[in-house]
Amino acid sequence: MASSRNEAPVTVACLQMEPVFGETAHNVAASIAMIEQAAAKGANLLVLPELCNTGYVFASREEAFSLAEVIPQGASTQAWIDCAARLNIYLVAGITERENESLYNSAVIIGPEGLIGRYRKVHLWGDEALFFEPGNLGFPVFKTRIGTLGCQICYDCWFPESFRMAALQGADIVCVPTNWVPIPGQDPGREAMANILVMAASHTNSLYIAAADRVGIERDQPFIGQSLITSYTGWPVAGPASSKNPEIVLATINLADAKRHRNWNDFNQVLKDRRPDVYTLP
């Protein structure tokens, strides 16, 4: 049995909520209420949905600018920083970010001591391209006292390179604020395609993944919920959550296992078996 000094236990919570478009103060207060509930159950790493402070379906770039905030000075980030300090937790939350005349679909990574960093969505989906600039920070990982965290947002999950970049940089878990929408051709008797992609990425990179989705209908756009936490094996350890209702998805995991069990047998290790020398087009 592994020595206790080689363990990295963490209790992860995905906070599936229903933001109200444009009601930033209400949304942040609702998120903090859910954070407090999850922390009372022992959660010390919590993930909130994409753009959870403002809502998602903007009518114009001007409207998006009017709701966007500077990081970390904005009211939403400051409220989450205060909450993380008070509860001694780590938090990843989706936020509409403004930097000068640019807008980003971003996430803040916050710890008990304040802002750790930010992630900007690399792969924009649909009308997002009308409002946001593509992320320009790459796929950073964040070393914390509880482990090394990666971050992605929603459509980033459709690109295997995103998770592979996190794994190659030593991430133990990737936190995914998301606003998944219905996918054409989805079999109602099967897991959501987003769930399948997250499970596959966990398995093929030996990573934990915590994906926090939203629910509800906003300006005629439905969202599918089904937040989940996957093990490094690829199988869910919590969730998928409801497709319609707010919910806290909670799991206690050992982040050390993400690296400890990357050796699948005496011969194969998923990252070391890569062949970059042949991954180029002729």
Decide if 143 is catalytic.
Answer: no
Question: Annotated catalytic residue: which of 14, 18, 50, 97?
Answer: 50
The 3-class SS string of 15-48 reads EEECCCCCCHHHHHHHHHHHHHHHHHCCCCEEEC
- Count, residues in the chain: 282
Which phi and psi angles does 218 have, rounded to 5°? -125, 115
Selecting among 154, 175, 247, 259, the annotated active-site residue is: 154
Residue 259 annotated to the active site: no
Catalytic residue among 18, 97, 121, 175: 121
Task: Give me the torsion for CA of 165, 121, 89, 170, rounded to 10°.
Answer: 10
Active site residue 121: yes
Q: What is the rounded CA–CA span in Å between residue 246 and residue 218?
A: 15
CB atoms closer than 10 angstroms to residue 120:
21
The residues annotated as belonging to the active site are: 50, 121, 154
